[in-house]
Structure 1
Amino acid sequence: MDVDISRIQLLTRTLEDHASATVVEQVLSDCALTRSDIEPPAKRYSAHKEALFVRHACDALGDITFGARAGLEFSSSSSITAYISKYSRDLKQVIENTARFHGIIDPALAFNLRLSGNAASLEADWKDPSFSRYHRRTEFLLFGAIARMRALTQLNLNPIEIRFQHTVGQHQATYQKIGGFPVTFGAERLEIILSLPSLETPIPTYDPSLRAHLVEFGERLLAERQSPRQKTRAQIEGLITDAMPGGIVQVDDAASQLGLSPRTLARRLADEGTSYREIVEDLRCDLAQTFIKNGMHLSEISYSLGYSDQAAFSTAFKRWTGQAPTAFRKRVSHPLS
């Protein structure tokens, strides 16, 4: 699954402003990326590598807010959706464009505009649930959405609130300071809340005839585009993360929710080179490390990942990483430059 190249170029430039060339090259290497992969004439690259880049950059800097900070620098893009937005009438039309055409540039995430009596919500849903584990990329994308709104309206526009489903412990205040607006974690939905009057904010570069031409082109791209077939693994990861915190979906229940027999589910996962147990272990290991970096208490992490007690979680974590959770927390709190 590929995404527009402009985002990784921004991320790389932002990291270069905060780290040595050696660190930047190491982060690229950790993501299996080279300079030629992200420089002209390249136009697209792997969404998973983007997610890993944000994660490794945060780790290298010892700053989990790097993705959010970089997102607020996201002012321009050369994608079809960016051009349609540039020539739209107002912010509402921009958001409607995003909901309609965003899948062209990022098939993993879908947006929907929902209006209520006193506010508007730009809701985000994972079309590929395997990306929900990448908290730093999620922050980058939503803070980036605010930056794009500001660039298009040429105003320092602030949302009423941004809401994330994951938690970041004591770091929440830092995110609010970075954005200059309320940021909530541990919310029910992933969304940006906007005032109704803000939707009427005009776009200075509005051009109705050019927009109509670009929308027609976008519709053709949508008609020609084949939706990527979601792997069974991604569907399973979505079921597991939706059931958190506090429990892990059992294999028979997962098969039932997918309309499969346990035997058919096992065969499909084997065809993808994995098993249900491996998916659960990999997801738990990955989320555990992210939760520790997020500042969550070990008891809270244990519960979130479905362990009976903290001791059981600590034993599993040491099996995965070769070190105790407390040692891991200490190490990531003091990264090597």
Structure 2
Amino acid sequence: MSSPAVASLSTRQVRHAFQALDGLGIPGVNSERLCQEVGLSRSVLEDLEARIPYVTLDTLLERAVELSGDDNLGLHMASLPVVDPDDVGSAVIATSPTLAESLERGVRYQRVWGDGERLRFEETLRGVRMRFTPVGTWRLAHRHLAELAMAQFVHGARLLTEAPVTPLCVRFVHPEPADTREHRERYGCPIVFEAPANDIEFSREDAARPLVHADALVHLIFERQVQKLLSTLPEEPSISARVRAYLQRSLGGGDFSFAAVARALHMPSRTLQRHLAEEGKSYASILEALRRERAADFLQRRVSIAEVSFLLGYSDPSVFHRAFKRWWGMSPESFRQKHGG
């Protein structure tokens, strides 16, 4: 199980990834080897109630790309859809009245599959748009996750409506790959790279298409099961906890500015500021509390004062000295002597 402060996803999602990779039959790429390489035990993978950090899946996909040499791995994984008969979230989607409502349900119950707001449903002038934002700072795995997600949206729309649904447009934040022939064949629509967000847009007519498995009573039953499942999940990391976790990773070399934190959490600065205020916190107070705690810890572990200043993100040691004296009522040197560091 992951720490409450670490964003995680359902074990089912990782199992699905393994099943898709195994189904591709790539020499040297199999679930046993990848489990060992990312430090994932079989016992955790077999626990369908467990949650696994997103970074584990990211590392797994990047290693699979490296081992396979497949630059379009995300697209190829989407060609082997995995059906999970016990996934009540997918059942809610499949029994929704229309394509648009199925997309909206996917956003509403996305925490069944993973923490955070990875999915966003929006109405547009031409129809509806589904936006996908991987969790964490951008890395290579996110390109493959985005291409996989968009291909699954297209496949799912056609499967659930039994109609030749073609998106109006697909957009990706990553640069255009050297060869996009497979992308254009898979999505069947204009593709924009280096866009502001990963998203797929459907026309108003396609969004209104009824689903072939729509059933109001069955849908209600599955929806109640999903709501019950959500009530049993561990509490999702608070915004302030996610800010603190980012700062812990970024102090001493990374960009830990408020703007960088907002980008990492995929929300506008004003929205982040509002969420923190609702929790009675602020970026400045979280940063100062973290620095205060880590300063004391570093000094007690015999880290040099100059290095402590750097590790806490201070460009000027004199600023660190003044801050430390404000926190502890004494200089770093006096603190070290008093606490036997």
Fold in common (TM above 0.5): yes
Q: Match of 2:78?
A: 71
Secondary structure, aligned partner of 2:213: coil
Q: Match of 2:202?
A: 194
What is the rounded CA distance, in whole Å, between the counterparts of 2:41 and 2:29 in structure 1? 13
C-alpha spacing 1:205/1:35, structure 2 compared with 1 (3 Å):
same
1:242 shift after superposition: 6.6
Q: Match of 1:57?
A: 64
**Equivalent residue letter for 2:9:** V
Is residue 227 from structure 1 mapped to residue 236 from structure 2 by the alignment?
yes
TM-score of the aligned structures, taking structure 2 as reference length: 0.64
Give the alignment of 1:25-104 within 5 angstroms: 25-39=32-46, 42-46=48-52, 47-77=54-84, 78-104=86-112
Contact 1:95 1:113 in 2 (8 A): yes
**Equivalent residue letter for 1:215:** E
Aligned residues: 267
1:194 shift after superposition: 1.0
Residues 129-177 of structure 1 show CA distances to partners (whole Å, capped at 9, x for unaligned) of: 3476632233323333333333322345332222121224424444323
What is the rounded CA distance, in whole Å, between the counterparts of 1:122 and 1:92 in structure 2? 10
Secondary structure, aligned partner of 1:192: strand
What is the rounded CA distance, in whole Å, between the counterparts of 2:69 and 2:312 in structure 1? 28
**Equivalent residue letter for 1:108:** G
1:85 shift after superposition: 1.0
Match of 1:205 among 201, 210, 213: 213
Q: Match of 1:149?
A: 157
Residues 77-110 of structure 1 show CA distances to partners (whole Å, capped at 9, x for unaligned) of: 3322211112111111101101211122211343
Is residue 260 from structure 1 mapped to residue 266 from structure 2 by the alignment?
no
Larger Rg, first or second structure (1 or 2): 2
Residues 29-74 of structure 1 show CA distances to partners (whole Å, capped at 9, x for unaligned) of: 22212455435x5454513322222211111111121122213433
TM-score of the aligned structures, taking structure 1 as reference length: 0.65
What is the rounded CA distance, in whole Å, between the counterparts of 1:120 and 1:5 in structure 2? 30
In structure 2, the gaps of 5 or more residues are: 1-6, 251-255, 265-280, 299-307, 314-341
**Equivalent residue letter for 1:87:** T
Contact 1:110 1:125 in 2 (8 A): yes
1:267 shift after superposition: 4.3
Give the alignment of 1:123-202 within 5 angstroms: 123-125=131-133, 128-130=135-137, 134-135=141-142, 136-202=144-210
RMSD of the alignment, in Å?
3.8
Match of 1:8 among 6, 14, 20: 14
Secondary structure, aligned partner of 1:64: coil
Kindly, what percent of the aligned residue pairs are identical? 14
What is the rounded CA distance, in whole Å, between the counterparts of 2:297 and 2:123 in structure 1? 41
C-alpha spacing 1:90/1:29, structure 2 compared with 1 (3 Å):
same
Q: Match of 1:114?
A: 122
Q: Match of 2:260?
A: 240
Residues 221-263 of structure 1 show CA distances to partners (whole Å, capped at 9, x for unaligned) of: 445542223432336679438769xxxxxxxxxxx98233753
Q: Match of 1:317?
A: none
**Equivalent residue letter for 1:52:** T
Contact 1:84 1:211 in 2 (8 A): yes
Q: Match of 2:330?
A: none
What is the rounded CA distance, in whole Å, between the counterparts of 1:272 and 1:182 in structure 2? 54
1:6 shift after superposition: 4.0
C-alpha spacing 1:98/1:224, structure 2 compared with 1 (3 Å):
same
Secondary structure, aligned partner of 2:285: coil
